[in-house]
Amino acid sequence: MTGHITCFGEVLLRFATPSHRLMVQCDALDMVVGGAEANVAAGLASLGHAVGMVTRLPASPLGDKARSALAAAGVDTRHVANGPGRMGLYFLESGAGLRPSAITYDRAGSTFAQSAPQDFDFAAALDGARLLHLSGITPALGPGGVALAKAAVRAAQEAGVPICFDGNYRALLWESWDSNPREILNELVSAATVMIGNHRDISLLLGKDFSGDGEDRRREAAEAAFAAFPKLQYIASTARHVVNAAHHRIAARIDAREAAYQTDEVEVTQIVDRIGTGDAFAVGVLHRWLEGADITRMAQAGLAYTVLKHSLPGDMCLIGPGELDAFSASGGDVRR
C-alpha cells in the first residue's frame, strides 16, 4: 500500500453507562472500540483515504473485536500484531445537564503498553506513506510508551514521512508515573509538520503563559511554537465553551507561519456523545490538508467533522465525504 496514512497507537475497548446513568446504577454497559489514533484512522478511511493502523492487540476475543472494528471501518490491519497481555479498557460515565462525563482507565499492563519498539515493523508500515499520525497518549503510558513514540517518530524521519502529532494531554496517565511530559513532548513535537493542540498545550510545551484573550492569545502562542519548533508548519485547535453536557459552542482554528484563520462559533446542542470529537476534528483538518487545501478549508472541515461526531454514539466518526461536504451548521430536514 502506497500513498497511505499510517496511524500508531493503542486501540481500546470502551464500556459506557447507558442512558446517562452512574456506574453504580448499571448492570450492563455498552461496549465499543476506540482509542485516539484508531479514531483518526477510521475517520480518514471513511473519507476515502488509504489508512493503515500500527498497533498490538492480545490474541483473544477482545483483541479480535478490536481488529474487526478497524477492518470494518476500512482500515488496513496488516500491521496490527498480536502479543501477550490484556486489552486496554476504559469506562465512561455519560454526563447530563451540569454533571460532566467521567472516564476511568483500566489499561495498565495491556499488550500495547508492554510492547517494545522491536515488536513493530515501522519501516514496512511507513513505506510509501504520506503521513504518520500519533498522539501524546502513547508516551503518557510510561517509559515504554515513550520509547514506542520515539521509535515511530524516528522511523518516519528516516523514511522522510511528515508527522502529525496530537498533544492529547491526559493528566491521569502522566501523573501515574514519574514523568516529565514537557521534555518528552518537546522532543516529539519538534519532529512534527502538523500539531493538533491549543494555547494550553503550547504553554505546557514551552513553560510559559500567554497574555491577551481569545484569538490574540492563540496567535501569540502559535508564534511562540513556530519559533521553538522550526519544522512545524500548522497548528490546529478548537475553542470550546461548555454550556452544559448537551450544549457546547465550538470554533475551529488553523495557524500557519504567515497567517491564521478562525471560524465562527457553532452552537452544538442535543449532544449524543462528546468522546472522540477531538479526533474527529483532526480527521477533518488532515483530510483537507492531504487534499492540498488552504487553512480556511482545513479549519472549516475540522469544525464540520467534529460537530457531526457529536451526533454519533461511540468513539469513531464514520461519516463519509458526501455528508461532510453537505454539512450545514443549521442542520436541516431529512436528506432524501
| Cα 157 to the center of its chain, rounded Å | 21
φ, ψ of residue 314 in degrees (nearest 5): 95, 175
Q: How far apart are CA 243 and CA 245, in angstroms?
A: 7
Beta strands 5-8 and 51-58 are parallel
Output the DSSP codes for 166-212: E----HHHHTTSS--HHHHHHHHHTT-SEEE--HHHHHHHHT----S
Q: Work out the angle between the directed axes of helices 277-291 and 295-309 (0-180°, nearest 10).
A: 150
Which of these is catalytic: 279, 294, 315, 333? 279
Q: Say whether 279 is catalytic.
A: yes
C-alpha cell at 30: 455498552
Phi-psi region at 228: left, alpha or beta (left = phi > 0; alpha = psi -120 to 50): alpha
Output the DSSP codes for 65-96: HHHHHHHHTT-B-TTEEEESSB--EEEEE--B
Taking residue 10's Cβ as centre, other Cβ atoms within 10 Å add up to 26
Catalytic residues: 279
